[in-house]
Amino acid sequence: MIKKPAWLHKTLVADPNQAMVEGILKEFGLNTVCREALCPNYLECFAKRTATFMILGTNCTRNCRFCNVQNGVPQAVNSQEPELVAKAAAKLELRYVVITSVTRDDLPDGGAAHFAATVEALRKWSPETVVEVLIPDFQGNEDALKTVAGAAPSVISHNVETVPALYQEVRPGADYRRSLTLLSNIKRHSQKLRSKTGVMLGLGETEEQLLSLFDDLRSVGCEFLTLGQYLAPSRHHHPVVEYIHPEKFEEYGKIAKEKGFSFTASAPFVRSSYNASEAMGL
């Protein structure tokens, strides 16, 4: 195990908003990917009165080697959850909301209708709020993507996570080409939709592989890109192969912009939903 460098040590500062956000999430019985995935930024985000809501339970039907979200028998779908998310977002007075989920390969539509219902509930309770959905691949189900797109979120995000050469090792239940196809199909449903993806660095990818990935993403019209350092949740997860220096992240961010991404966030602590509103100028 390689030693974590100084630039990855984060000072956590207590803030009254943290307890307030925790209280609202508890009041409505909601989950966040912030907690489930052990995001290093969650206290900072809670202090800003933001959170990324995770719908469709906490048990994922896949078992990616980088992810802290637990694998297990999926929970029953809570039909009241879309309304509860919308009420919580309204109470938090959020201008920008990110909705994600565990992967639900057990559901015929992968949970797409539940995503759509959540977006629609948010529109009802907070019509001025910008909504981003961070979706799984729906096993390539085009009708499922159409269902989500039909609810008219502002951004549809789907994380490719890593370079294709590492998929079998890191994401054994996923398929790189399937994810690229999903990103490619977003604009087919509406030119107003913005497409986004996230990539983790330090899993063992080479610079050549990463830059080739940028080209693939631009070839399918992906507009927003986030790059962040992979941090292993435990010794049982895929190990960190390399800690990427912040200056290298900055360099990759510049290259991505030169390749045509309209927004790029690239730094060690960047995560796909971290300060997500910046991509929309908020």
39 pLDDT exceeds 80? no
What is the domain count for the chain? 1
How many percent of the chain have pLDDT more than 90?
67
Contact 138, 178 (CB under 8 A): no
Residues 177-193: pLDDT tens digits? 999 999 999 999 999 99
At position 145, the amino acid (one-letter code) is: L
Q: Is 235 a member of any domain?
A: no
Please tell me the predicted confidence (pLDDT) of residue 237: 87
**Host domain of residue 187:** 13-200+269-280
* 75 assigned to some structural domain: yes
Instruction: Please report the pLDDT score of residue 48 as a whole number.
Output: 64
Q: Give CA–CA dist 263/112, Å, rounded.
A: 26
For the chain, how many residues are written?
282
Q: Establish if 71 belongs to a structural domain.
A: yes
Query: In this structure, is residue 172 part of a structural domain?
Result: yes
Ramachandran region of residue 53, left (φ > 0), alpha (ψ -120 to 50) or beta? beta
Residue 223 inside a domain? The answer is no
pLDDT at 47: 59
CATH of the domain at 122: 3.20.20.70
Render pLDDT for 213-225 as a digit per residue (tens, 0 to 9): 999 999 999 999 9
CA 261 to chain centre: 17
By DSSP bridging, strand 31-32 and strand 52-55 are antiparallel
Instruction: Provide the pLDDT confidence category of residue 34 given band limits of 50, 70 and 90.
Output: low
Residue 8 resides in a domain: no
Q: What is the mean pLDDT of residues 184-211?
A: 96
pLDDT given at position 63: 81
Q: For residues 177 and 7, what is the distance between their CA atoms, to the nearest angstrom? A: 34
Residue 171 tokens, joined: 């994401």
Give SS3 for 140: helix
Q: What is the pLDDT of residue 13?
A: 67
pLDDT for 49 equals 60
244: left (phi over 0), alpha (psi -120 to 50) or beta: beta
- Whether 249 maps to a domain, the answer reads no
In a domain, 274, yes or no: yes
The encoded tokens of residue 179 equal 């994810």
**Beta strand segments in the chain, E:** 31-32, 52-55, 96-101, 130-134, 155-157, 194-201, 224-229, 263-266
Burial of 101-134, coded b for 16+ CB within 10 Å and e otherwise, reads bbbbbebebbbbbbbbbbbbbbbebbeebbbbbb
